[in-house]
Structure formats: C-alpha cells, structure tokens
Structure 1
C-alpha cells in the first residue's frame, strides 16, 4: 500500500483545483469521489476575475475563458421594462486582465479540470467513497469503499475534505456547521431561448411576486435561476411549467426548450473551524451561502489555492506544520463575511410584502443605475464581485505597507506598453517585485535564497496603482503580498520567514 501525501475527498472544482496546485508543486495526491461523473444539474455558473488571475499559474485561464462565455453586462429589469445596464468592463479593464463576468457551467468546468489533471498523470477515482478515517497523529488512516463494494485502507499525511455541504469529513471531525436554511425554494433550468434578451448578456428580472436571472453561455443557451414562491408538498416533482412565468415574460424572453430542470433549497452556514489535526475542510464542506453574486465556487477555489502552497511547503520540509494554521485564520473570516453579505442581499431579493416589493421593484433598479454612474462606487462593486478586493491584511502571514499596498493584499495589476506585472506570477513560487531599481544587496539576497527577482521600470501607472518607487514587495506562492517594504532591507525578509516558520522560500 502506497502512502500519499494528501488524500482529497471530493472531485468538484475545489478538490480538482487543490489536486492540480499540489501536483505542480511535486506533492503526491489521491483524489476520490463517490459519484460516477460530474453532476449535470450544477448551479455554479460564474468564474470571476480573481479566479482567472490565479488560473494563470497553471496556464488554465486562457482555456477557461475560451470555453466559457463573456457576459459583458448585467441588465436590470422591473415590470417588463429595462431599468439599468451595468457594464464593469470600462472600470475592470484598469484593474485586471479579465474585466467581465465569465459564465461557464460547473459541470463543463469540472470536465476541463479533470482533463488537465489526467494530463498530469492523476485520475479521479470515481464511485470511491470515504467510509471512515482516523488521525493517528503522524498520518491519516482512511477506510474507502470501492466501486465493487469492497473496503480498503488508504493512508496519507493529510486529508482534505472537499466533499460538499453534507461533508462526511466534517461530520467525522464533529465540527459544528452553524447557520440555517432559507425558507424559499429556488429552481434552475438549462434552457434554449430566443427574443430580444437572448443577446448573450446577463439579465435580472424583478417583479412584485417573481424573480428570475438569465445567465447566457452562448448560442441561445442559458441558465434560468428563479424563485418558487408558493410552497408545495410535491416540490421534488415540480416541472418548469409549474413555476411562475411573470418575470420571464417581463424579459420578453421565449423559452424554446428546457434541457433540464431542478429545484433546491439555499443554506447559509460556516464551519466553526477549518482544520482539525491533519484534516482540513474546504469549499462547501466549510461554508455554504446563497447564490447571490456567484461567489460559492470561486471561494472554494480560493480555499484550495490558499491551502495548496502551505501543504507543499510543509510536506517538502520548507516550513513547520504551524504554517497550516494560517489557512483557517485567513479563510474563515472571509467566509463569514461572505455569508453575512449574501444573506442580506438574498433577504432583500426574496422579501415579501408591499413595501418590500416597492423597494425591490421601484427603488433598487433606479439606485443601481445612479450608483453605476459614479466611478468610485462602480470600482468598489467590481472589486467586491470579482473578489479582487479579497485580502489577508489582518492575517498571520502579512507584514508592512508601501504606498497603498499592504502585506496581505492582492498585488495590483499594472500593464504598461504590453509589460504585465502579473505575468511572473504564473510561477507557483516566492518572488520579489521592485518597481524602479533593485539594490545589489537585494539582488544578492534573492540569488542566495533562490527567490526570483522581477524589476519593472517605474511609471506613473505604477504610482496610480498604489505602488511605491524602489519599494520591495515579497510575494507568496499564491500571488498575495507577504511583505511590503519601503526599504530594500533583506534582513526584514529573513526575519519575516523565520517568524512565520518558513525555513526555505
């Protein structure tokens, strides 16, 4: 029996991304999933800009963008009339290479990730189920059920629970999952549509007694996500013909064909902890929330990339096990904030009553249109939606400030004359960026430590992005700023690495 470095339970986007990022860093993984194939009725549809930025590390971004559909705008409708058209491209184009909402159904997304994983020599073991496991202190001993029903023992240094909202890993760890379930039932339908709004853009239709969102993914195909207002005893038997059509009709949309239809309940929960010994919780196993903003899948992918470089560092003997504690400390706060934010938006969208209808249908679209015309608000909304604002400033691995950039921030994206300062981030490694000139002392430190040094000629665009001339920015393998130093003092970097338990960058 061969012991693996990491046993990954669950082959959704979170588990697949974790496997990919670990493999590229030389970590031996085993990934299992109890299902025979990716679920065809997936609800996750949106890949945000920050996820695409991170996908550049494995040369995945271009393939995902090519396979998905760029929705250039989000249109708000109320009572059958267009109220606001919100395009983030003009603002987003200054902030990221991906200034759009990419619609890419989760099942399609999973298949692409599986293909990339197979090209790297790892096969997802389908219809293989985790039955039980024990943390012996120095390893995980897991009992797995094979497709033929037999049970076998598998050992690993660490266990990653990417097994969804009903996570067996979380259950076996006896980790609380505080929160609740919304009263309302939602539906999702994969449809072929025609009409004026079948134009490849995203549309949200608000009615006094109905709500629907259309997410297009090309050639007249799209997903409708709507609310089932009236509770019934036979919710599991509903068909598309049973749900309200007012909001759909308000979009002047013709549904020519329904490929599949499914109903679901929405939960809002966060696990009380993300690590227990040698076991970790990621994605829906750690946090679930409403689909508002399409944040769920992207957040799970962020969990995976945050944990992957830390696991690799520990497994390769370059860091102490205490580094792994920072995974929970950096990710759980964001998960709680996300649940709180999406909970408020979900409650607003689904609230009933005349006053709630008035605010949602009459007031909100007008305010959205006004707010969009204010540049600062438009940029703030894009940063929130795209997750480019997510930072670890208060985390245990963040130090210093240089300009507007602090330790824990995403490195601002700047492109000058075709020179993209995010291009070097494709390497999953520590690196140092200087905008201006690098000192001989810093060059020597980087050479001795085998840390790549990237020096960019100083421009006004760098100043506008909040960077400082001749400052030194030490970047983590997941592309976030670890240390922002006004002075090029390598001693500060040495002290930092020692303080966080990293022996070799």
Structure 2
C-alpha cells in the first residue's frame, strides 16, 4: 500500500490514528475543514486503558505532565456525601483518570505528529465519496474553493457526530436524544471540596457534576429546565452550586459557558467496503463516565495496526475491526445510558431508593471493582470474535487448571515485573509489548527437559520466520533457568512467579501471542508451536 490512507477529521480520534500510522510507517493524509485546532476543553477524562495506549505510543509522560490525576468519584444528596468510588482500585499502573482539556490533548498529538514529520491539512473539506474494489474516489474542497479529486486505498471517517463520511455512506445512526437539557461551564471554584476529585450531586431539580482540572478549575455540568433560557454566566452557576450542593463555594473566572442536549446513537457497522468510521462518527452517548473520547481513540488504536499489517501484505484483519469495536461502542452507549437515567431520576421515590442503594452497592468490593474496571475501560475484551484462538491440552481444559482461570484469548494482556536473565534488570512485560509488533510470550519450566526446550526453540524459529520484524519474543522461566537454556536478551526470570500467576501458568509450558494493541491473540497450554502456526494459517497472518 504505497498510496496514503485518507483520514477525515483531526480531532483526538483522527490525530490518534495519524500518530499510530506514522509510528507504523504507513503513509496517510490527515484533513480537517476547521481552520484551527480546538480552543475549548470539551472532553476531559483520559482513562487507565487509554493511558496504557498512550504509554505504548510513547506519549503518556507528556499527557500526565499537563493533566490532573483523579483518584476518587464522590456522590452526594441533600448536601451530604452518600459514597465514593476509588479509581485507584483499577488493575493498572495508571490507577487514575487523567483530567486534561481536549484542546491540550489535541495539541500534544499535533506536537507528536510534527516530530514525526507530519501535519494536519486544514481548510480541506470532504464533499463526495465513491468506492469500488480498487479504491475510494473522493472530492475535496480546499481553501479558496479549489476542488481536488483523488483516489485512496482506504478512508477513515473521524469527523465527529455530524460525520459527512457517515452521511455519504447512508449509514443509519440509530438512537435518540435525551429529554433533558444541560448547561456547562469551565470556572474557578473556591470551596472545601477536594480539588482533585470528581463530585456528583443529586438534587430534585437535577444533578450537578464537578470535573476537576488543574489550579482549582472545574468543569460544571448540570441538568437544567427546558422552559428557562437563563443567561449562562458565573452568577447563574453560582446559584446552581448553592442550591444543589449545599456547599460553601465561590465561582469566578469563567472561560467557557454552553448549553446542549445529548444523544445516544450508534451505527450497526463501522465499515463499508474500504471506508471505516471511528469515534463520534460511529457512536455518541452521554458524557456520564467520560468515555466518549477514550472509546474513539481506542477505535483508532485497534484499526491502525490492522491497516499497517495490510499495508505490508502480512495479513488482512480489517474485517475484524467492526466486529471487535462495534460491540464495545454499543456497550458504552448502554452503560452511559443507564448511568444517565439513574443520575437524572426525578421521581422522589426512585431517587430515594437510588440514594439508599448506592452506598450499599459501592461498599461491596466486587461491585466497586467491576464499576472501576468499566469506567477505566480495563474490562474491554474481544473474546467473542474470530481473530482470537487457543489450544488447550487435557490438563488445561480441566476447570481446576489455573490456566482455565487465567486471561482468555481476546482479553487485555496482564502486566508483571520479570528479571532480564543476563543483566538482572527488572523489566515490565508491558515494556516488552510496547512497539508496533506482536509479542510471543513463552513460559518454560525451570526443570524443562531437552525435548521441551527443543520444541520451544523450534516454535521461536518458526514464528520468527513467519512474522519477521512484526514479532518480538520473550521466554519466561521461574526462579532459575532450565539446564540447556542460555541467558540471552529474550530470556527472563520470574522469581516471585508473578507473571506465571497473572497468566494462570503453573508447572507446565505455555504460550501466549500478544497483539500489537496489547490484547491476547492466542494461547496454548501446553506450549504447542503447531497450534500457533495453525492459528496464523487460519487468519493468513505472516509470510508462508
């Protein structure tokens, strides 16, 4: 694929996709009809799974430096705290939500693109699109009304909720608008409320949420009456704060005020031939949970490596994009819909029940942990898709086997710290996974015999020939290396057996193939190289 991929829309999703394609060395063209990048904060929260994605991209430190770590979500009614959710419980190194205004998110992506020699083409608007089996013909209107006609192998619509790409394709955007109206403000608030935590207040007139930013600034979102047309200013939001929070506070220095309605909509397919949709072009939903931008960026993260694999003629997994991401988008739409209905409940009896049940449910560890994993999108998985697989021997097939309880194909690969056998340096598995490649993770017992070692080495050789530069290998033993296995740069010790435990491996050999996006593509217990090759053959991945 020597011709560039056309990305329509340079918001966070389009920019994320562009950065990923640049990292993979895939040519692209990024167009945007807006004359300049966003100047308002818009989407704020970046969740744990997205932070892991940004770490893989080499960007997470820049984002954290500019943002605010949020570790708690607090819920109130009648001016009293009902309960809280501890985001630190999430199973990730990044055990927090990072609040960062969207304009800064875009600026950091643009900065990274410039470092890699790319930029956004502004004043360029998509006017028409048609496709056949050879490519996608587009008509673009550039600054000054100049019309350009070009053809691209693929087009990705990252052009938001009013997507022209989606409209040209005639895709139905199924869903509805919520009846409530909302008001928004970015203001400075002096109060006793923790300035680095989220605060949600339930009230008979509607809810009010405070999303923290740096320097005691907050995003305020509140449901408002559909009959009133108030002037949105500091005084109006001060009244809302006083009435709904019952907290002593002072609002000042407002820099953005807006009112809006929200929708919950999703397309049934994220792909039409050679054209793909990502982000708000494919799904929009309530801002409850702050998952919109995150889900969109992860759409881009999922699609990028598949476009790269296709560009190098090493496999065509593009058919898996919609089956993997559409159910995730639908799940987010459904989750945020439930959260919004609970938050906006006006019936006094229903609200009283909500206020009683919320503390009870949040006090249950398993409920809170599940809630946190959903909010932080750690629980996203692709188990029920055709692009994952496994081979289970008799022992592993038993329900008593730890492997059967370990991460399944399609799950996010767990992290752990192992020790490099030559240098003795502690190393995170995630550090091994980072980069545009698959990772072959082999677990070999410390008392492995000669035949087992020979089979492991043969599996390594076959896999390396098959995937070439697209494969990185890591062999993990226990507290010591088995006799006959030399210390090399791909051999690691797991003295505390943390990696073994996290992957459900005990005394037998096992194999995991980790995808470039950090999800498990294939697993095998016992370690069976033939089953791995059969899996790659089924998906036609690599060179035969």
Could you say which TM-score interval applies, normalised by the shorter chain?
over 0.9
State how far apart, in whole Å, the 2-side matches of 1:247 and 1:46 are. 26
State how far apart, in whole Å, the 2-side matches of 1:364 and 1:32 are. 48
Structure 2 counterpart of 1:340, from 334, 338, 350: 334
Aligned twin of 2:368: 378
Deviations, residues 420-458 of structure 1 (Å, cap 9, x unaligned): 111112111111112445622223224433321112334
Structure 1 counterpart of 2:416, from 414, 417, 433: 414
Tell me: CA distance 1:203–1:351, structure 2 relative to 1, closer, same or farther (3 Å).
same
Aligned twin of 2:462: 445
Structure 2 counterpart of 1:288, from 262, 280, 284: 284
State how far apart, in whole Å, the 2-side matches of 1:112 and 1:275 are. 28
What secondary structure does 1:268 align onto? strand
Task: Confirm or deny that 1:477 pairs with 2:516.
Answer: yes
The equivalences for 1:107-118 within 5 A come to 107-118=103-114
Please say if residues 208 and 220 of structure 2, whose CA atoms lie closer than 8 Å, have aligned partners that are also in contact.
yes
Task: Confirm or deny that 1:303 pairs with 2:299.
Answer: yes
The equivalences for 1:145-224 within 5 A come to 145-224=141-220
Deviations, residues 193-250 of structure 1 (Å, cap 9, x unaligned): 1110153221111222131111112111121111113434x57x64454463445542
Tell me: CA distance 1:33–1:247, structure 2 relative to 1, closer, same or farther (3 Å).
farther
Deviations, residues 258-301 of structure 1 (Å, cap 9, x unaligned): 11111111110111211111100110000111111111111001
What secondary structure does 2:167 align onto? helix
State how far apart, in whole Å, the 2-side matches of 1:224 and 1:4 are. 45
Report how far residue 86 of structure 1 moved: 2.7
Structure 2 counterpart of 1:363, from 343, 351, 356: 356
Structure 2 counterpart of 1:429, from 403, 424, 437: 437
Deviations, residues 327-360 of structure 1 (Å, cap 9, x unaligned): 0011111111221121111111112222233234
Deviations, residues 87-107 of structure 1 (Å, cap 9, x unaligned): 232x22xx2110011111111
State how far apart, in whole Å, the 2-side matches of 1:364 and 1:189 are. 30
State how far apart, in whole Å, the 2-side matches of 1:318 and 1:446 are. 13
What secondary structure does 2:179 align onto? strand
Aligned twin of 1:277: 273
What secondary structure does 2:111 align onto? helix
Aligned twin of 1:455: 475
Tell me: CA distance 1:475–1:303, structure 2 relative to 1, closer, same or farther (3 Å).
same
Please say if residues 44 and 294 of structure 1, whose CA atoms lie closer than 8 Å, have aligned partners that are also in contact.
yes
Alignment TM-score, normalising by the size of structure 1: 0.92
Please say if residues 78 and 365 of structure 1, whose CA atoms lie closer than 8 Å, have aligned partners that are also in contact.
no
Please say if residues 242 and 249 of structure 2, whose CA atoms lie closer than 8 Å, have aligned partners that are also in contact.
no
State how far apart, in whole Å, the 2-side matches of 1:21 and 1:112 are. 14
Rg larger for:
2
State how far apart, in whole Å, the 1-side matches of 2:138 and 2:537 are. 34
What secondary structure does 1:64 align onto? helix
State how far apart, in whole Å, the 1-side matches of 2:275 and 2:343 are. 37
What secondary structure does 2:252 align onto? strand
What secondary structure does 2:22 align onto? helix
State how far apart, in whole Å, the 2-side matches of 1:379 and 1:182 are. 29
Deviations, residues 102-136 of structure 1 (Å, cap 9, x unaligned): 11111110111011011111110112111111113
Tell me: CA distance 1:504–1:22, structure 2 relative to 1, closer, same or farther (3 Å).
farther
What secondary structure does 2:308 align onto? helix
Alignment TM-score, normalising by the size of structure 2: 0.86
Please say if residues 472 and 488 of structure 1, whose CA atoms lie closer than 8 Å, have aligned partners that are also in contact.
yes
Q: Which moved more, 1:188-197 or 1:158-167?
A: 188-197
Tell me: CA distance 1:3–1:27, structure 2 relative to 1, closer, same or farther (3 Å).
closer
What secondary structure does 2:21 align onto? helix
Please say if residues 161 and 167 of structure 1, whose CA atoms lie closer than 8 Å, have aligned partners that are also in contact.
yes
Aligned twin of 2:486: none
Q: Which moved more, 1:293-302 or 1:253-262?
A: 253-262
Deviations, residues 126-179 of structure 1 (Å, cap 9, x unaligned): 121111111132111111111222111232110000001111000000111110
What secondary structure does 2:437 align onto? coil
The equivalences for 1:383-394 within 5 A come to 383-394=373-384
Tell me: CA distance 1:168–1:327, structure 2 relative to 1, closer, same or farther (3 Å).
same
Please say if residues 134 and 140 of structure 1, whose CA atoms lie closer than 8 Å, have aligned partners that are also in contact.
yes
Tell me: CA distance 1:290–1:124, structure 2 relative to 1, closer, same or farther (3 Å).
same
Aligned twin of 2:68: 69
Please say if residues 80 and 252 of structure 1, whose CA atoms lie closer than 8 Å, have aligned partners that are also in contact.
no
Report how far residue 372 of structure 1 moved: 3.6
Please say if residues 437 and 515 of structure 2, whose CA atoms lie closer than 8 Å, have aligned partners that are also in contact.
yes
Deviations, residues 351-392 of structure 1 (Å, cap 9, x unaligned): 2222233234x324423xxx3443322321221111111100
Which structure's relative contact order is higher, taking Cα pairs within 8 Å and 6+ residues apart? Answer: 1
Report how far residue 52 of structure 1 moved: 0.9
State how far apart, in whole Å, the 2-side matches of 1:152 and 1:245 are. 51
State how far apart, in whole Å, the 1-side matches of 2:337 and 2:234 are. 26
Please say if residues 286 and 337 of structure 2, whose CA atoms lie closer than 8 Å, have aligned partners that are also in contact.
yes
State how far apart, in whole Å, the 2-side matches of 1:240 and 1:266 are. 23
Task: Confirm or deny that 1:12 pairs with 2:8.
Answer: no
Structure 2 counterpart of 1:106, from 102, 109, 114: 102
What secondary structure does 1:405 align onto? coil
Unaligned runs of 5+ in 1: none
